[in-house]
Amino acid sequence: MIGSYTERLTVPIAKDVELAHVVRVVDRAGTQPRLQLVFRARRWQGEPRLLEPDKCLGRDWWPPDALPEPMVPYARAAIAGIGAGRLYTELGWS
């Protein structure tokens, strides 16, 4: 995972990442649920640069209480969960 991130943003990340949040997602009834694992890197080198602009609208730093639109729901749920001190969130389950 660290290698994938480094390839996409050109930022070497230290090996000491930590699990910050887990989102258990079901998009709609009848689809397979999935887990979105969110990791926190406390140290990195350099400035992130987006190398796959066709897969992302952009990259920027945003305060958690002023996130942009559009944003994928599981990312918004993870950020809210982290802010609330939770490790786990379920999204889309009724």
- The reported pTM is 0.76
Q: Determine the residue type at 9.
A: L
Which residue is listed with tokens 């990312």? Answer: 75
Burial of 11 (0-12, 13-18, 19+ CB in 10 A): middle
Query: How many Cα atoms within 13 Å fall on the side-chain side of residue 15?
Result: 0
So what's the pLDDT on residue 54?
86
pLDDT in tens, 58-68: 778 899 999 99
Q: Which domains are seen in the chain, by residue range?
A: 2-91 (3.90.79.10)
How far, in Å, CA of 87 to CA of 94, rounded?
A: 20
Q: What is the mean pLDDT of the chain?
A: 83
Beta strands 34-40; 88-91: pairing state: unpaired
